Structure 1
Amino acid sequence: MTVHSKQQVKLTDSFWCRYQSLVREKVIPYQWQALNDQIEGAAPSHAIKNFRIAAGEEEGEFHGFVFQDSDVAKWIEAVAYSLETERDLELERTCDEVIDLIGRAQQPDGYLNTYYTVKEPGKRWTNLRDNHELYVGGHFIEAAVAYYEVTGKKKLLNIMCQFVDYVDTIFGDGEDQIRGYDGHQEIELALIKLYRVTEEVRYLKLAQFFIDIRGEQPHFFNLEAEKRGDKPHRWFHDSYSYSQSHLPVREQEVASGHAVRAVYMFTAMADLANELDDESLKKTCQRLWNNVTQKQMYLTAGIGSAEFGEAFSFDYDLPNDLSYTETCASIGLVFWAQKMLALEANGVYGDVIERAIYNGTISGIQLDGTKFFYVNPLEVWPKQAYHRHDYKHVKAERQPWFGCACCPPNIARLIASIGSYVYSVRDHIGFVHLYIASATAFTLGDTRVEVAQTSNFPWSGDIQFTVNPERSVEGTLAFRIPGWARSFSLMVNGEEAHTQVSKGYAYVTRTWNQGDEIHLDIPMEIERMVAHPNAKANAGKIALQRGPVVYCLEQVDNGENLASLEINGDSLIEERFDEELLNGVMVLSGKAKRTEVTSDVGQALYMRSEDVITNETTFTAIPYYAWANRGEGEMTVWVRSNM
């Protein structure tokens, strides 16, 4: 078994440090206010108050979704990663107070869930299909592990170990135990994290139990529903594919159902396959990965095309205007990709991490950190979103908060932890997966090797590294060559390096000395991307991409009716960096044509083809992640083309 070791990483990157500062200075305080219902006009959370009620310190009723507690857990996890980048004693003190409150709300037997403690005492574990008890626990486990690793404080870790010890008595193969699992996967991946910091094998076995029994027949959710006198299916879905429990996991051929649940489960499966050297689980993960990324993923690394069930639909069904593409789903895809990288050093996994972090995840947060997208469509016509019920999930502007507020704290914890995705060590090889200016240290053999990276990514592919081993050491460093790259060059100390390229990584093996300089140059070209012919929504259209960044057109730059624009297939597209626009972005521009009607057809809705004319115009494109920061208007990623 080989796994990624945890790397201590110090970011110096101008792009991501701005985001991390935003999370630290604005997002975490803003979300703390939201959790305490202090933001005027935002949907109420009640999350902190629920804990106070559960602890017996306030009177009142539980408010919110059954999984409301998880918003607090994700906030704590974001705080932990933020403290890792910059210590803040006041924030840490606030977090410690929240942890104390959680401890007071925990029940004597270790149980922790304010919904059942306050609203339905006595009904624990009676509706795992719908009510997210283990999901909530999983998020608190993740928060506990992160907070312990960063601060060394064990209080929340001990709270969650007590919880899991209790859960371990409830679930299992024993005569009086529940042979079941949660409707929303999460605890599975969290238990593996808990196992790694505690080395308690029971936690790993519990994760394996939840994965292995999922989808068994007779179906657990049917048995559970019968016991409580309920219908076997939820009203809005008549198939257990919604929760990926329609088949045992190893028999699943394609990704289906709720996208976030799916990628959380796939993350756990990949991690478990690595931990147990489970070849059949590994092959299942690879099969599902190919289906998702080759047939069900948007150009922005958004996943989950259907609003109904927030779900995957079927291969190549990728509508741009109706897409759901939940922020959490793209974040979950990043989690999964990292675990797939631990299974196999293959650049396709790093490519998806890169595509997701520069497109489908950070599109979910306003540039000032105070508003959020739950849904990230690739085409928006505001009037359509306001007037049509089937577009009710599509918003033309980000929202201050949500009643179901899973996405804001999820994006905060991803941004705060972005350094953990940059490097890893595997089989004594130091890997560079992402090009984010930073410093870290590898252990190659028995020698500590410090590595510093500088770049202006994602705007430039000119990347520099300085290597400083404690003493001269022979070893290998591997650099991911992105799938979008047409070429690259790699120099060491001014001379072309001997590289071996395998599965998307350029390996450099040599004796490393103090002060060695590496120059990796990956030219970024503007690409006209086209979709597979089976992706019917994009027939006759192109999308623009430069390096890892996907672009879009907005009404503020290009006028109304973006559907009338056509980009010439072979015309020159220019690029310029605008420091003043959208916190500094590379802007693309070029010639286009706009379809219009002749003046003599009046107000006719339909007309002959000769009554339609095209006029020369220009277009401007900005990075997709930055759309909807300059007021409401149309937006599109895919544009008609005469290619």
Structure 2
Amino acid sequence: MNVKITEDFWKNYRNLVRKEMIPYQWNVLNDIGGINIERERADDTIPNEKSHAIENFKIAAGRTKGEFYGYVFQDSDVYKWLEAAAYVLREDDDEDLRKKADDIVDLIAEAQQPDGYLDTYFIIKEPERKFMTLRESHELYCAGHFFEAACAYYAVTGNKKVLDTAIRLADCIDRHFGAEEGKLHGSDGHPEVEIGLMKLYAVTGEKRYLRLCEYFIGVRGECHKFFAEQDEAEKGMTPIFEGMRHADDTYFQIQEAPVKQSTAEGHAVRQIYLCTAMADLAREDGDEELAEACRRIWRNIVDRRMYITGGIGSTVNGEAFTLDYDLPNDTMYCETCASVGLIFFAKNMLKLEAKGEYADVMERALYNTVLAGMALDGRHFFYVNPLEVDPEQSRKNPTKSHVKAVRPEWLACACCPPNLARMLASVDDYIYMEKDGEIFVNLYIASEAEFSINGEKIKIKLETDYPKSGSVKLKVEKNGYKVVNLALRVPGWADNVYGQIDGAEEKVAQEDGYWHVYAEDKQTEISLNMPMYVERNYADTRVSADVGKVCISRGPLVYCAESVDNGEALQNIELLENAVFKENFEPELLNGVISVRTEGKRIVERGNGQLYTHKKMYDIEGQSIKLIPYYAWGNRGENEMRVWLREH
């Protein structure tokens, strides 16, 4: 499958990745340019003087002298940048970028130890503790990100060195971990190596990597004892993460065997990365018990623990899921990486079983939380993605110190910016899917694609200006006479959908969220029309934070109010139940957005300064209200922002 994106909306983002994000992040990782690095929350122990990520590799490789600096997982920032660079090179073989990436591959290979071990923290700082403190070491987490980067870079460039380096590291891990006597009987506190091993298996065909992934997933429910034994052996040693050893089992995803799990628990990114690997392994092995566990966790997330923006993680404490329907808007976490991971999980669930609801969630997370994680300039980034912000509270209330009103230039814990880069640079991989001889269209992004199915060469040209409108046209060409089966997703938000095949009206009959059609002629034109209306959304009343409130959306886009448009004290504005909404495309606003306007009300204080009174001390006045897409908020300076608004 070969895909080229042609739509302006996504071409702009892809150009932003290529021209801004990749060079900017290269400079940060190389400590060039005097970029201000912010702590992700109020904690003076967070290292924020510099990135030092590439310098760590140079020290480990013996090119320079110095000390390790940064988080223990700093290596993963480089690996994710390399993976993003691979996807950019797939679209545009830029000579300068290719040289930088090749140089990084050489550097990584030089840092690798003779036995295949690779982790700059332990090579430089504490070589005697290799694989000795896996609860907190992130050694396998970093390895997983390198496997992903290596597979992507090898696939695009054919660079054998990067694949060989990954294989040596995987073989090193395989020698040290497993059920066999004499090996370590546990895993890493942060799932990720499992995702990387599945990708390495797909590229190499080496069954040991598949079996190792299977082992790491299966052993998680037994890791409490393993970690406790390592903690005991480490008594008297300085912790790598102060306090992490006291986190509960859900934080490390070791509370029970994943195959028995029914709810999303603990650290949201760790949970979702584990689920991503579980779904991939279930498909590969035909493991229905594991697949059913994935379905249970999926249902719990989507039905009870996911924000309307596709964000996950309700608390800063452990960056974690909490309990069903606990979805606060102003203290939530909704880490960018978690929504990127949710897209990974959704994609693997789609590969497991083609159901449109998985692509619906993929779309929700992508167009809202993921895009909101980056400023429109490609040089500022959110770690967390709130649904309600008061800048003054973020500054002065320590329970909200993680909630930023504007995106920092960089973050001390910089997992999110390169994760965003690799996600946006590879979005073409999420548009189509081949499964059982059928072509599924999961995301409506204008593009040209080529397929080869059962010896038939097929070209698809997808035309749309989505998400501006829901009008989609597919032109299908094939070189033979075999019938081509296609499945077009009908989004959950869409009503009054109608379709055409070669100009003839067709009923859009849905099966698992898809309209299945057949292209019999050498050239077939298929149209799917999904009218986009401004819609009101209401939360389940068990979500206490949203009772009496409404959220506005249009197509896949969630909308929000900012104080720059509506005045301060957004808690005092109200939408009317019978309000009429007016849509207006504003080409000069936020790189061109459709804004939504309506008439509402505002509570105006007229009290005498008393905090509490026996009478209502306010008036209600009319107010014009303007809403913008959530992904674009925070790009006009420091503002209040709200997704859920009072309704009157």
Question: What is the deviation of 1:419?
Answer: 0.3
CA contact under 8 A between 1:497 and 1:508: conserved in structure 2? no
Write the distance in 1 (CA, Å) between the matches of 2:473 and 2:97.
35
Relative to 1, partners in 2 of residues 1:160 and 1:444: Cα closer, same or farther, differing over 3 Å? closer
CA contact under 8 A between 1:499 and 1:508: conserved in structure 2? no
Among residues 589, 597, 603, which one is paired with 1:589 in the alignment?
Answer: 597
Residue 96 of structure 1 corresponds to 102
Among residues 196, 201, 218, which one is paired with 1:195 in the alignment?
Answer: 201
Q: Which residues of structure 2 form unaligned runs of 5+?
A: 38-49
Among residues 71, 74, 82, which one is paired with 1:76 in the alignment?
Answer: 82
Residue 540 of structure 1 corresponds to 548
Write the distance in 2 (CA, Å) between the matches of 1:406 and 1:238.
20
Residue 212 of structure 2 corresponds to 206
TM-score (norm 1): 0.97
Q: Does residue 52 of structure 2 align to residue 58 of structure 1?
A: no
Question: What is the deviation of 1:121?
Answer: 1.2
Residue 3 of structure 1 corresponds to none
CA contact under 8 A between 2:187 and 2:223: conserved in structure 1? no
Write the distance in 2 (CA, Å) between the matches of 1:437 and 1:98.
33
Q: Does residue 287 of structure 2 align to residue 284 of structure 1?
A: no
**CA deviation string 1:386-441 (max 9, x = no partner):** 00111110111100111110000000000000000000111111100000000112
Equivalent residue letter for 1:527: E
Q: Does residue 568 of structure 2 align to residue 574 of structure 1?
A: no
Among residues 295, 303, 312, which one is paired with 2:304 in the alignment?
Answer: 295
SS of alignment partner, residue 324 of structure 2: coil
**1:25-40 → structure 2 map (5 Å cutoff):** 25-40=19-34
Residue 452 of structure 1 corresponds to 461
Question: What is the deviation of 1:103?
Answer: 0.8
Write the distance in 1 (CA, Å) between the matches of 2:223 and 2:36.
44
Relative to 1, partners in 2 of residues 1:65 and 1:101: Cα closer, same or farther, differing over 3 Å? same
Equivalent residue letter for 1:513: K
Number of matched pairs: 633
Write the distance in 1 (CA, Å) between the matches of 2:277 and 2:587.
41
CA contact under 8 A between 1:8 and 1:420: conserved in structure 2? no
Write the distance in 2 (CA, Å) between the matches of 1:382 and 1:505.
43
Residue 367 of structure 1 corresponds to 376
CA contact under 8 A between 2:462 and 2:472: conserved in structure 1? yes
TM-score (norm 2): 0.96
Relative to 1, partners in 2 of residues 1:238 and 1:86: Cα closer, same or farther, differing over 3 Å? closer
Question: What is the deviation of 1:499?
Answer: 4.9
Equivalent residue letter for 2:89: L
CA contact under 8 A between 2:76 and 2:142: conserved in structure 1? yes
Q: Does residue 146 of structure 2 align to residue 140 of structure 1?
A: yes
Residue 444 of structure 2 corresponds to 435
Residue 149 of structure 1 corresponds to 155
Following TM superposition, the consecutive aligned residue runs of length 4 or more in structure 1 with deviations greater than 6 angstroms are 230-234
Equivalent residue letter for 1:540: G
Equivalent residue letter for 1:255: A
SS of alignment partner, residue 100 of structure 1: helix
Relative to 1, partners in 2 of residues 1:609 and 1:508: Cα closer, same or farther, differing over 3 Å? farther
Deviates more, 1:533-542 or 1:605-614: 605-614
Question: What is the deviation of 1:238?
Answer: 4.1
Write the distance in 2 (CA, Å) between the matches of 1:586 and 1:215.
48
Write the distance in 1 (CA, Å) between the matches of 2:611 and 2:142.
53
Equivalent residue letter for 2:200: L
Question: What is the deviation of 1:367?
Answer: 0.1
Relative to 1, partners in 2 of residues 1:393 and 1:217: Cα closer, same or farther, differing over 3 Å? closer
**1:77-476 → structure 2 map (5 Å cutoff):** 77-216=83-222, 219-229=225-235, 235=243, 237-476=246-485
Equivalent residue letter for 2:31: D
SS of alignment partner, residue 600 of structure 2: strand
Q: Which residues of structure 1 form unaligned runs of 5+?
A: 1-6
Among residues 615, 618, 625, which one is paired with 2:624 in the alignment?
Answer: 618
Residue 564 of structure 2 corresponds to 556
CA contact under 8 A between 1:337 and 1:352: conserved in structure 2? yes
SS of alignment partner, residue 419 of structure 2: helix
CA contact under 8 A between 1:259 and 1:329: conserved in structure 2? yes
Write the distance in 2 (CA, Å) between the matches of 1:473 and 1:499.
23
**CA deviation string 1:413-471 (max 9, x = no partner):** 00000000000111111100000000112334321110010111111001111111012
Write the distance in 2 (CA, Å) between the matches of 1:610 and 1:207.
62
CA contact under 8 A between 1:489 and 1:521: conserved in structure 2? yes
SS of alignment partner, residue 122 of structure 1: helix
SS of alignment partner, residue 216 of structure 1: helix
RMSD: 1.4
SS of alignment partner, residue 512 of structure 1: coil
